[in-house]
Structure 1
Amino acid sequence: MASKLQNEIKKRKPFDRLEEEATLNCLRTVDYMQSRTAKLFRRFGLTSSQYNVLRILRGEAKPLPSLEIASRMIQQVPAITGLIDRLEKAEHVKRHRCEKDRRVVYVEITDTGLAVLNKIDEPLVELQTQFFAHMPRKDLRELIRLLEQVRSGAVED
């Protein structure tokens, strides 16, 4: 009997390995969730990465060095400077050079950045709720545990 993913992608033969099917299921799910959240963020003039930076800064409630922000990102970005440049141009963040070490740049969320996050909060909660509305809380906790287990076995290059 064909798996749901096998039917969705119209794969004629079963997957060769469970690891392949699990990986493709994760990737397809992430793609679905990313495209829906990206569409929401675009309504507010942000990308997912820009939202992530603002979320980090709001949560910390103080300026952070740009490299610290980069280390906390959900999705790793190769050019944190360019990302912060665009947020600064939109007046969502402002930068301050460290007086003790001029190489360190602190980034602070502005009132404009906080305001856009406040507008996003409710529709984002609604979207996230839609993603998982059909799942019992017990299953959500298990999903979280399993995803963390996958990442704990990952080897960095």
Structure 2
Amino acid sequence: MNIEQILKINSDLPLHKKVVINLLFTYGLIIGKLNEALKPHDISIQQFNVLRILRGQKGRPVTLAAIQERMVNKMSNTTRLVDKLVKKQYVTKSKNELNKRKIDIIITQQGLDFLNKIDDFVETIEKESTSSLDTNEQLELIRLLGKLR
């Protein structure tokens, strides 16, 4: 089914609009599935993203600015996300030793345990979201999206 049928659009859309609408609609579907899956675990996709960034640091502290730079969704309020993760005891914050104006963030063991608990769950959703594409189609989609960026 094409996007016009899905969204019940009667007018003939220019190709560039079809591309953008398809991207946004598909993004919404995938993000919706991920958020729905994470909701019972009381965590948003943005908070999950922060935890994955911190896990990748392998115990080394990282600043808010560095987290923001690596976020998939650059519109997220990183300070608010980190504060929520501190309340859940998934991360800790401390003043940077070299620059007192900066805050260092580190994932806690509880945060690592939480990620380990839900990693397979999220992996399954990611695989399901791309299962209609074979390996070559997935690689081609990655190439095309990179070209758009």
TM-score over 0.5 for the pair: yes
Unaligned runs of 5+ in 1: 152-157
User: In 2, distance between residues paired with 1:76 and 1:41?
Assistant: 20
2:66 counterpart of 1:68: yes
The equivalent residue for 2:147 is 149
Q: Is the 8 A contact 2:96 2:103 kept in 1?
A: yes
- CA offsets 1:19-62 (integer angstroms, 9 cap, x no match): 00000000000000000001112121111111010000001212
Q: Give the residue type in structure 1 aligned to 2:108.
A: T
User: In 2, distance between residues paired with 1:73 and 1:100?
Assistant: 24
- 1:1-157 correspondence runs (5 A): 4-15=2-13, 17-61=14-58, 62-151=60-149
State the 1:132 CA deviation.
Answer: 1.3
User: In 1, distance between residues paired with 2:129 and 2:78?
Assistant: 29
Task: Describe the SS at the equivalent of 1:60.
Answer: coil
Task: Describe the SS at the equivalent of 2:145.
Answer: helix
Task: Describe the SS at the equivalent of 1:107.
Answer: strand
State the 1:78 CA deviation.
Answer: 4.9
Q: Is the 8 A contact 1:44 1:116 kept in 2?
A: no
Q: Give the residue type in structure 2 aligned to 1:74.
A: V
User: In 2, distance between residues paired with 1:99 and 1:56?
Assistant: 21
Q: TM-score, normalised by structure 2?
A: 0.95
Task: Describe the SS at the equivalent of 2:56.
Answer: helix
Identity %: 28
Q: Is the 8 A contact 1:41 1:47 kept in 2?
A: yes
Unaligned runs of 5+ in 2: none
Task: Describe the SS at the equivalent of 1:94.
Answer: strand
User: In 2, distance between residues paired with 1:111 and 1:146?
Assistant: 38
Task: Describe the SS at the equivalent of 1:99.
Answer: coil
CA RMSD in angstroms, aligned pairs only: 1.1
Q: TM-score, normalised by structure 1?
A: 0.90
User: In 2, distance between residues paired with 1:7 and 1:79?
Assistant: 35
